[in-house]
Every structure is written in C-alpha cells, then in structure tokens.
Structure 1
Amino acid sequence: MSLLESAVVVLMAMAVVHVSDAAVHKVGDSAGWTTIGNVDYKQWAAAKTFRVGDIIIFEYNAQFHNVMRVTHAMYKTCNVSIPLDTFTTGNDSITITSKGHHFFFCGVPGHCQAGQKVDINVMPHNLSPAPTPSASVSPIAPATGVPVPSPSKAAPWNVLEGGFGLLGLAMAFFAHFVCGYA
C-alpha cells in the first residue's frame, strides 16, 4: 500500500471516530424556534451540554422567523443591524467548531425582545468551563446550503481535539503499522 493510501485510511478512521462524538441539539426541542407558546431558550440551553463538533438545528416557519448569529453586545440589545450570519431555510443545521459562547436570535422585529434568542455555551471535549462572553463570537460552520468561507489555518487540527480524536489516530496507526491492516 502506498503512503498516500495509508494516509487516506488513517484520516478516514480519525474522521469516523471524531464524528461519532458529536451530538445533535434541536433548539427548543419539540417546540422548535418560535415565539408561539412559552419557550424559554435560556432554560433550554442551560439544560444542555454543548461540545465542539455538536450540531445545532433551528427548525422554524421561514415565513415568520429567521436565525441570526451575532456578537454578545448585539445579543444583549437585540441589535439586528449587522449580523455575523443570517439563516433563512427554516431547517438550519449549524456545526459548532469552537468552544465558547455562540449567540443567536430571530431578526424579525420584536421577536428577540420577546425572548426568541439563545446563548449556546460550548465546552471543549475535556469539559472545562468555557470562557465568559466577550464582544467577539467564536466561529461556526455555516448551515447546509450556505457558501462556506475559507477555513482558518487551525481548522485541519480540529479533528484531533479531545480524547476520541487522539484515540482514533492511535488506533488507525496501530491497525495499519503494527497489525498490517489496510
């Protein structure tokens, strides 16, 4: 087996192990992303443990709602003027790629003020506490169907985060080089 084929096998094994560690969270659970009813998104988020690699799903009626990713300052004041990202499909899946606070709200007038906003506090894989909110927001992967911006230089190493990524790497090397499996 060539070196290139070996590298592909190792990377595939790492990716499978890393992806299996992710959880999927539907914002608001069965209620979804809405102003109808009495959904407390602060309470919803506090009851969850979010980690790097998790997928956050916003389900809503796209005729009446949207999702904006914003800074902490914008979140506190419900300022919709210059969001970091805007999602409008009604079924937005967002992969969290970094620890820390990620701020979202509905940009329809009055909805954020009515409580349609959520602060998702993402823990690293080792479960240490995330930093307190700052004026900047950590990067996330865009929702499905949205053009992907060029990745940061650190992005390829995200697969090595946490024990499962390193365990996968060790297992792949052991299987290939010690046992001779391809």
Structure 2
Amino acid sequence: MDKKCSIFIILVATILVVDTSAQKPPTNTYELNWVPDFDYKGWAEAKNFVEGDKIIFKYEVGKYSVLETDQKGYDNCFVCPTATPHSSGNDEVVLPVGIKYFINASDKGQNCKDHNMKMKITVPPSPPKKVEGARKLVQETN
C-alpha cells in the first residue's frame, strides 16, 4: 500500500472516530409544578434547553391538565383538534428541536387565559461539530 493510500485510510478513520465520538450535550430533567399564576415564560426563557430534555408536569389530577398544542392554541388558549392531552398529574414530555406549546385545558382554557397557565419552549438545533483533526491531516499530506 502506498503512502497516499495509507494517509487516505487514516483520514477516513479519523473522520469516522470524530463523528461518532461527537456526542450530543447531556440532557436534563425538569420537574415543574403546573399551577396558576406562575411565570412560565420567565422560567422557560431562563433555561438552555437541548434536544432530549424532559419536563415532568406535576399537578392535581382532575383540577388541571397539560395540553401540547400549536401556536394558535397557545396564543388563544384554544383546544385545537390536533393537540396532545396529558392528564396523569405526572406527565413527562421529551423535547425535540423546535418550539413546543403547552396550555392548561381542564377548564376550557380559563386558567390559561386568566392565570397564565401556558408555556412556550424553544429548543435550538445543536451547533455543528468541528472536525479539526481531519483538516490538519489533509493539510499535512499536501
């Protein structure tokens, strides 16, 4: 095997090792008491959410509930037909990249409207990973 072929194989192996070892940031689990008159906007904005983070909504069953909704449902405290309801009192939601909207829907949106029981969470995409070692190896072979 000639020198250029060997260097190419090392380069490919280095890229594969770097890519597979580039792990996602660690995820967090947040327990949240889902109650009226709490500053959910401030709470969510103070966090640096990453993909895979979990929120556990804790609340009194029968009195409150959590509804994953769309922006229209969030803005208007409206129960949209495509919403995902939760009602266990201990609801775990795993966050994907993007924006998630939650409202209280157990009282047809009144606690959402009158007592701020709604929350918007934004999870940004992970920043691209640098592959510095592979770039250096390519420069050395030229």
Pairwise TM-score range, normalised by the shorter structure: 0.5 to 0.7
- Spell out, residue by residue over 1:56-108, the C-alpha distance to the aligned partner (whole angstroms, 9 max, x if none): 110111120000000001110011142520001000111113x1210001002
Q: CA separation in 2, counterparts of 1:123 and 1:88? A: 27
- Structure number with the higher strand fraction is 2
Q: CA separation in 2, counterparts of 1:49 and 1:62? A: 29
SS at match of 1:73: helix
List aligned pairs for 1:1-182, cutoff 5 A: 21-27=26-32, 32-35=33-36, 38-97=37-96, 99-109=97-107, 110-113=110-113, 114-126=115-127
Please provide the CA RMSD for this pair.
2.0
Q: CA separation in 1, counterparts of 2:52 and 2:91? A: 16
Moved over 4 A (4+): none
Normalised by the length of structure 2, the TM-score is 0.67
**Following TM superposition, by how much is the alpha carbon of 1:26 offset from its aligned partner in structure 2, in angstroms?**
2.1
Give the share of equivalent positions with the same residue, in percent: 28
Q: How many residues align?
A: 106
Q: CA separation in 2, counterparts of 1:83 and 1:115? A: 22
Q: Runs of 5+ in structure 2 lacking a partner?
A: 1-19, 130-142
SS at match of 1:51: coil
Q: Runs of 5+ in structure 1 lacking a partner?
A: 1-13, 127-161, 164-182
